[in-house]
Amino acid sequence: MKSKPKRKKKYIPRSRPNRPAGAEPAVTLAKADSYFIGRFSAMASPCEILMETDDAKLAMKLLRIAAREAFRIERKYSRYVSGNIIDKINNANGERVKVDDETALLIDFANSCFELSEGLFDVTSGVLRKAWKFDGSSNLPEQVLIDSILPNVGWGKVTWEKPYFSMPAGMELDFGGIGKEYAVDRTVLLLREAKKIALLVNFGGDIYTGGEKRDGKPWLVGIEDPSGGEKASKVLEITNGALATSGDTKRYLLKDGKRLGHILNPLTGWPVEDAPSSVTVADDTCTNAGILATLAMLHGANAEEFLEEQGVRFWCVR
């Protein structure tokens, strides 16, 4: 791997359930004022598309484009799907695997994020799930279990010679930290190619809006209250661009009155200390917004300072 950059370098990364193979994603479409709302489930998240059109056939066409693309990415990159490229890599027992161009793009992106974060963002750290169950309980894993898993974590141990990827047996590749945001950006691209109308794509809280609405008003997007309240903690106005949120609203542990979020430090195997409850970032793409939100969480007590250095709009809740 390349040498680590100097600190305070600006981050500008560029870029589960199994379904029967070939199954058509189930979708629903409803009319709401001047737009249609399409809904489906993918990547273990509720997904919705808001489309400003009066044409129901067009809305259904766009909805199916979105659902098929989200489903395609889930099938291709979920670690829960047998036989996909992630499964082949994770079960190669150290042998190298030839990957396609799209997968190579994501591996390059993961490598850049690892280098720029000085090892804090590591797509091999998903294997730590074997120790941690963030179910709201007080059950913490034994240190001996974490210590037994940590040798299988570390991007510096992989070999990436495009188009061939390999890593030691026992390690795992997990794109869960970037897959949903990538799916949003890919979906937006396909929808804009099909028809240029005002729309909002929301995959489990990772959002992109584009196109000027007919009334000239922005979309209103609420940031979820980390305390679990029904009302949004903040309502944002957004016309063009992306929003991504990282936080511990749904996945956490409580031990002796201390809340432990699901964002793990891959160097220690333990949850990041003093991280915000929630970080929302605005950027040009959902992939960039998502990685910046996650990196901010990984910076713990210095999350706000990190985001200020990036020169992006952000909202932190502690």
Per-residue confidence (pLDDT) for residue 259, from 0 to 100? 87
Longest dimension (CA), the chain: 60
Is residue 70 within 8 A of residue 179, CB to CB? The reply is no
Both tokens assigned to 139: 């059950």
Angle formed by the axes of helices 179-194 and 286-298, to 10°?
A: 160
pLDDT of 24 > 80? The answer is no
pLDDT tens per residue, range 105-158 = 999 999 999 998 999 999 999 999 999 999 999 999 999 999 999 999 999 999
CA 52 to chain centre: 26
Both tokens assigned to 37: 């709302």
7: buried, middle or exposed (CB in 10 Å: 19+, 13-18, 0-12)? exposed
> What DSSP state is assigned to residue 264?
B
Instruction: Identify the band that residue 9 occupies on the pLDDT scale cut at 50, 70 and 90.
Output: very low
Average pLDDT score, the chain: 90
Per-residue confidence (pLDDT) for residue 228, from 0 to 100? 62
Alpha-carbon dihedral angle through residues 181, 187, 190, 195, given to the nearest 10 degrees: -120
User: 28-317 belongs to which CATH class?
Assistant: alpha beta
Per-residue confidence (pLDDT) for residue 33, from 0 to 100? 84
Alpha helices by DSSP H, the chain: 56-77, 85-90, 101-116, 143-149, 179-194, 286-298, 303-310
**First vs last Cα of the chain: how many Å apart?**
35
Question: What backbone torsions phi and psi does residue 64 show, to the nearest 5 degrees?
Answer: -70, -35
| Residue 46 to residue 48: CA distance in whole angstroms | 7
Indicate whether this model's pTM tops 0.85: yes
